[in-house]
Chain A
Amino acid sequence: MKSYVIGQASEIEEKRARVVRILDTEIAIFKLTGGELRAIENLCPHKNGKLSEGLVCDHHVYCPLHDWKINLNDGMVQAPDEGCVKSYHVEVEESTDNIILHVETMEPTRAS
């Protein structure tokens, strides 16, 4: 497990998301109302929709392609649809406003 500073929390607006790329994986960093952050893979299990572009309601995001609802706390797809998105641990360092993302070491999934 490694930790990375990926930017500052002020760079993300509430109920919006920004994307960070690690190799060929995209991770969406969401800011909930109140300022807490959540991080999940930017890929809806249904049709690979970019979840970073979805509507954020409380701690849920709705996929912009076909409206699947995903819990940002654990990545679980909400009924009646089923599935799960990989979620990551993310936090804000209060003194610096730095966003710290914790990820396992990744290998490229595609040959480059």
Chain B
Amino acid sequence: MKKKLVLIGNGMAGINTLEQLLKLAPEKYDITVLGSEPHPNYNRILLSSVLAGDASVQDIVINDLDWYRDNGITLHTSQTVTRINTELRTVTTNKGLSVSYDDLIIATGSLPFMLPLPGADKEGVIAFRNIEDCEIMMDAAKQYKHAVVIGGGLLGLEAARSLLNLDMGVSVVHNSKYLMDRQLDEIASNMLRSELESQGMNFLMEQNTDSILGDERVTGVRFKDGSEVKADLVVMAVGIRPNVGLAKESGIEVNSGIVVNDYLETGTPHIYAVGECAEHEGVVYGLVAPLFEQGGELAKRLAGIPSPGYKGSVVSTKLKVSGVNVFSAGQFLDQPGTRSFRIQDDFDHVYKKIVVQDGKLIGTVLFGDTSDGSKLFSMIRTGQDISGQEKELVLGSQGTAKPQSGIQFVAAMSNDEIVCGCNGVSKGDIQRAIEEKGCTNVNDVKYCTKATGSCGGCKPLVEDLLTYVLGSDGVTEVKEGICGCTPLGREAVVEAIRSMKLTTSKEVMHVLDWKNPEGCSKCRPAVNYYLGMIWPVEHEDEKESRFVNERNHGNIQKDGTYSVIPRIHGGVTTAKDLKRIADVAVKFNVETVKITGAQRIGLYGIQKEDLPKVWEELDMTSGFAYGKSLRAVKTCVGSTWCRFGTQDSMSMGIELEKRLERISTPAKTKVAVSGCPRNCAEATIKDLGVVAIDGGWEIYVGGNGGTDVRAAELLVKLKSEAEVIEWTLAYFQLYRENANYNERTSKWIERVGLEFIKRALASQEERRALQQRYEFSAGLTSDPWTEIIEQERLNKNYEPLQPIRM
């Protein structure tokens, strides 16, 4: 029988422990995880990227729900453990759940430290610690302008930068004279401050907060010297404290954190603690790398693998703020017995300092150029003798010293030393990937091991390791190609297709020297699209390069069945068509009939072999609800029925859908037409939206209602319906010719800029030329459902082979 392992805390430290344990002893435990947040495990260090809009909450999830399921882990979210019964070996949650354990890990992390100020409980006063805090900040930024961040440390500055990105005015309050005074020396701190000031941050230094002002919601902050600052949002980022309440109440030994030995064992048998809630040798760590080192040791302990145990961590700090590179590690302040070497370059805003004691590197501060950070950090950790090379270490990367040092350095690293702290990848893991899996560049290594996949700080070390193992000739250059099969980007591929008149994927991949002769699932559909866009006549569409949905002309659903959605132009249908759809649904026992998000009717749960029969009986054309092409044109009822309608949006929508349907676009496209500025068809979150105004039409472009909601921008105001058609077709052809495969118009417009599109469509001559190219290509398309019903050869692919009877 398996032993029962319970983990309290669904954060980075605890889950990393489980990940490492599963690698060492996958079958040993039945594992249950109890987390108080409603989310699966996510990367807390990247919360500032979520706030900055660089990542969504989904993007920072490390282990999604499937991971728990796939590894047989029972996860209970939104459950806060309130009691550990160390006698009966059970834990109980606030919702009455009780789970028994053989071994228990406490990984409750830390809580933000909230200054006990008068008024700190007002609305709009928050910490910066979890996804909920992020959401509050993003909401506040929509309504309010003035943010105050209390705390000029790492977390405070990252929060402040994110609030700037959200277009709020930000003041940072700090009680000392220097920002990040725990991580930086005076010089670096001052350089940081002036850089952040130039980005628009306001600093209130050497200020102590007295109270938070306001009635229900915060209106300002008052300081001890009597001065005040206006605030609609106050973020406290003054530090964290280990979350030890549960352990304490349960009788487990606690100092400032839960006291653990070198094996992460608490004073109570069968109970372990790891991460920010744990205290080892009097130290509580609040950074991610030490947590992973602890997790590794605890995993070994639980798996029963002997090890010398955890010996504490040397920590490094890196600021994740755009345009500012700051790194520090170890003991970086000058003290009796230490010597330091520093260079300060006020022209290029670079500062580097190393601190040496007894011939060994013990600390460093880097500002402006942090490329040597991970190398220096590892030297601090290994404690190797650097006598005689001190200057070289700092000057090395500027080319004045021998470039060999980095490679000599990685050569000296031990195999189990962690190179990528974010993903816990050791030197040995990377070396094996290079030697055994044939990795020859950083991308390969990332693909094989995940190293460099998160913050990217270890990239220089990985590069040095590659050179060390393969020699400088063996390392291949990484270029950002359209996929791993080629270093060429879209422009180069499209240019080659045009200039060399390549008309098949095979030719493209052969002539352009693809790494995999038949490409991969990324480039095959892309190349097929580019060929069809450039050579609409000469290129024969390659069905085998189409994604399943486009090949089978229905969306594959999670159980392998398909959905069928017929075309309903402009969302306008007839009683006769409705009746026929209903008849087909009854005849084929359709499980779900659903009005889709785009005003159409979907039949769900159709077997692949039934698709042609369903289409035939429907006797309607394909709605392309699966394609990288126009999905639908949504309309309101417009002037036909609506008392506010100024134009006939239904007939405009039907006309547009007929003109736009079937043809391939780089990504799916959606259009809507509203009959008046009330915009009931929600035209301003579509790839192209037409809004009727009194006496004319407005065209909006680049909107999106999907994951990245984006409001469309006004492209042009027009008088006649003919002009609307001309501009619409020209716009879609421009998109077809310019965008990367799989790039939605909203992303394309952000990349090329609305001005580019306005300029390209400005002259009527150019618009007509684009329109003609569009209509030429569109004229070559036909309805795929009809085609398949009529052609025996195509039809056959929908049927299984004769079943075997045993």
Contacts and interface: CB of A to CB of B under 8 A. Distances in A.
Interface in B483-520: 516-520
A17 to B, nearest CB: 9
A11 B548 contact: no
Contact of B797 (A16, A49, A56, A80): A16
Contact of B447 (A2, A55, A79): A79
Interface string B527-556: 000000000000000011101100110001
B545 to A, nearest CB: 7
Of B521, B524, B545, most A-chain CB atoms within 10 Å: B521
Interface residues of A, number: 41
B575 interface: no
B545 A55 contact: yes
Contact of A67 (B521, B543, B796, B800): B521
A79 B801 contact: no
A75 B560 CA distance: 20
A53 B548 contact: yes
B517 A58 contact: yes
B722 interface: no
A1 to B, nearest CB: 12
Nearest to A5: B802
A57 B806 contact: no
A77 interface: no
A57 B518 contact: yes
A80 B447 contact: yes
Interface in A24-59: 26, 29, 33, 46-50, 53-58
Contact of B556 (A20, A21, A50): A50
B780 interface: no
A57 B519 contact: yes
Nearest to B794: A13
Interface in B248-291: none
Contacts of A13: 543-544, 797
Given A16-B797, A20-B802, A64-B547, A57 B521 contact: yes
Interface string A71-108: 00000000110000000000000000001010101100
A79 B66 CA distance: 18
A21 B548 CA distance: 20
A69 B544 CA distance: 16
A56 B543 CA distance: 11
A79 B450 CA distance: 11
B448 interface: yes
A6 B796 CA distance: 15
B556 A15 contact: no
Interface in B429-487: 437, 447-448, 450
Contact of A22 (B70, B796, B803): B803
A79 B560 CA distance: 24
Nearest to A22: B804
Given A55-B524, A80-B448, A7 B801 contact: yes
Given A47-B558, A79-B448, A21 B803 contact: yes
A103 B804 contact: yes
Nearest to B453: A80
A48 B799 CA distance: 20
Contacts of A22: 803-804, 806
Given A16-B797, A21-B800, A55 B450 contact: no
A69 B483 CA distance: 15
A53 B544 CA distance: 10
A98 to B, nearest CB: 12
A48 to B, nearest CB: 7
A63 to B, nearest CB: 9
Given A57-B521, A79-B448, A80-B450, A64 B804 contact: no
Nearest to B449: A80
Of A29, A57, A64, most B-chain CB atoms within 10 Å: A57
19 contacts: A6-B802, A7-B802, A11-B796, A13-B543, A13-B797, A14-B544, A16-B797, A20-B802, A20-B803, A23-B806, A29-B801, A47-B558, A50-B560, A53-B556, A54-B548, A55-B521, A55-B524, A57-B516, A58-B518
